[in-house]
């Protein structure tokens, strides 16, 4: 598992559930973009058996992102 968390402006819980949808943008962020980046990341992760997750960041602020990798096969 890899986890990354920050303490920036964050994303509310309802929006976190939609972050990896194509063309979804969090309202009020004022940042340029098309809303495709995280949907591309999610698809690549799926192709490799990786589960992408979103949660709160540091001290309940910001955003947390986790990548859960599949267990290596026993040899």
Domains and CATH numbers, the chain: 2-68 (3.30.565.10)
The whole-model pTM stands at 0.82
Per the CB < 8 A criterion, the answer to whether 21 and 39 are in contact is yes
The least confident of 2-6, 10-14, 66-70 is 10-14
Task: Reply yes or no on whether the pLDDT at 68 is more than 80.
Answer: yes
Q: How far is CA 8 from CA 52, 56, 57, 61, 71, in A?
A: 20, 10, 8, 7, 32
Q: Helices marked H in 1-75 — which ranges?
A: 13-16, 37-47
pLDDT per residue as tens digits for the range 5-63: 999 888 999 999 999 999 999 877 778 889 999 999 999 999 999 999 999 999 888 99
Burial of 1 (0-12, 13-18, 19+ CB in 10 A): exposed
Give the model's confidence band at 74: pLDDT under 50 very low, under 70 low, under 90 confident, else very high: confident
> What's the CA gap between 67 and 3, in Å, rounded?
7
């Amino acid at each position: 598992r890899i986890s990354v968390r920050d303490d920036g402006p964050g994303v509310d819980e309802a929006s976190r559930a939609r972050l990896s949808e194509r063309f979804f943008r969090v309202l009020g962020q004022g940042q340029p973009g098309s809303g495709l980046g995280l949907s591309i990341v999610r698809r690549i992760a799926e192709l490799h058996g990786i589960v992408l997750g979103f949660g709160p960041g540091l001290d309940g602020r910001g955003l947390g992102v986790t990548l859960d990798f599949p267990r290596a096969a026993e040899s």
